[in-house]
Amino acid sequence: MRAVVLSAFGGPENLEPAVLPDPVPGPGEVLLRVRACALNHLDLWIRAGLPSAKIKTPFVLGCDAAGEIAALGSGIEGVAVGGRFAVHPGRSCGRCDACRDGRDSACPDYGIIGAYGGRPGAYAELLTVPVEHLLPMPDALGFDEAAAAPLTFLTAWHMVVTLADLRPGETLLVVGAGSGVGTAAVQIAKLLGARVIGTSRSEETLARAKALGADAALRHPPEDLAKSVRKLTGGKMADAVFEHVGGALLMNALKCLRRGGRLVTCGATAGPEATLDLRYVFDRQLRIFGAKMGSLAEMRRVWALIAEGRLKPVVDRTFPLAEARAAHEHLASSGHFGKVVLRP
């Protein structure tokens, strides 16, 4: 099969075309012919050499995939060759206390295809998938949109619904509303009946965030973000903040919260280190949650909403698989709105 491999950690120049042996599905697995693979910022971090990922090069990146079943492993029932599916990207042991409690991402052996755990990903024509991790695609959903959904919508759902416990009538501040996970958070919050304030450095992105459902949109220079939120909310501030930028913006995002407010974070695109004034955190009794994906049960719940058309993946641009380097550069430029997708 044709693929793109990460030959060494570093820049996008280390993404190289390759021809690899076709994978063979084992018992309980199917072979998926990949029609679309969505990029995530996680791809950029893995490419740069994220130590916690524990992978070795050469390696096939790609956490999000959609395609058609090309072959069945032994013991497979309920699906057929030619069926159209997206893929739940998380992998856990299924036996530990965390897995039995439905907390898949807390499993000591938790991994993500194309990222954590050394499991190859979807920058390739073929991918083996456990049958229980297949997500049926409705006829109205295209491969690009299906591939753009799993990781970002699962992460956003886990952050907004499970961790932040956002309620109808509350206000959610979505920092970086034009990213894949940001566009998912805006939609999920609106589905819950919340008010959404989106932020971005780009006026064009802010306009698109409002078209997607955000009630208000703000530029986010750090020095005036809290002041702007205070004005928009009549002094009440945000009930929760959805954050995945990190760096200096994190403390400014915390200042946008009301007393007892919640901040959920899943990324650090502006840098992994942030300075916090802990007096502000404990005096205002703020809660800070870190998020990493979510459970298979949450994935099935959010996928049902996508299949019904109540949540809609946003695709910014597509690239042929052979142009994976250019796709990485486009994602890193932060000029996108929604997801960047590769087509094998």
305-316 pLDDT tens trace: 999 999 999 999
Looking at residue 80, what is its pLDDT?
96
Contacts of 154 (CB under 8 A, 6+ apart): 88, 90, 293, 294, 298, 299, 302
Mean pLDDT of the chain: 93
Kindly indicate whether the domain formed by 2-149+313-343 is annotated with CATH number 3.90.180.10.
yes
Question: How far apart are alpha carbons 331 and 280 in whole angstroms?
Answer: 34
Q: Are 63 and 53 in contact (CB under 8 A)?
A: no
DSSP 67: E
Query: Is the pLDDT higher at 220 or at 211?
Result: 211
Q: pLDDT-based confidence at 93, cuts 50/70/90?
A: confident
Query: Within 10 Å of residue 65's Cβ, how many Cβ atoms?
Result: 30
Average pLDDT estimate for 6-20: 97
> What is the pLDDT averaged over residues 168-180?
94
Confidence of residue 330 (pLDDT cuts 50, 70, 90): very high
In angstroms, the CA 299 to CA 155 distance is 9
Residue 223 — very low, low, confident or very high, per pLDDT cuts 50/70/90? low
Architecture per CATH, 153-290: Alpha-Beta Complex (3.90)
pLDDT tens track for 48-65: 998 888 899 999 999 999
What one-character DSSP code corresponds to residue 338?
S
| pLDDT level of residue 222 (50, 70, 90 thresholds) | low
pLDDT at position 248, please? 79
Percent residues over pLDDT 70 in the chain? 99
Contact between 242 and 173 (Cβ < 8 Å)? yes
**Is the distance from CB of 295 to CB of 105 less than 8 angstroms?**
yes
pLDDT score recorded for residue 221: 64
Residue boundaries of the structural domains of the chain: 2-149+313-343, 153-290
Q: Is the dihedral of CA 187, 189, 194, 199 positive or negative?
A: negative
CA distances from 297 to 83, 84, 90, 157, 280 (A): 22, 20, 11, 11, 36
The β-bridge partners of 105 are none
CB-based contact 33:71 (threshold 8 Å): no
Per-residue pLDDT at 203: 86
Which of the two residues, 61 and 219, has the higher pLDDT score?
61
Tell me, what's the pLDDT at 51? 85
**pLDDT given at position 249:** 82
The residue-averaged pLDDT of 313-341 equals 94
When pLDDT is cut at 50, 70 and 90, the band that residue 118 belongs to is confident
Per-residue pLDDT reduced to its tens digit, 229-259: 999 999 999 999 999 888 778 888 899 999 9
Tell me: pLDDT of 220 over 80. Answer: no
pTM of the model: 0.94
Number of CB atoms found within 10 A of residue 58's CB = 15
DSSP alpha helices (H): ranges in the chain? 41-48, 97-100, 143-147, 150-157, 180-191, 203-212, 225-232, 249-254, 278-283, 296-307, 324-332
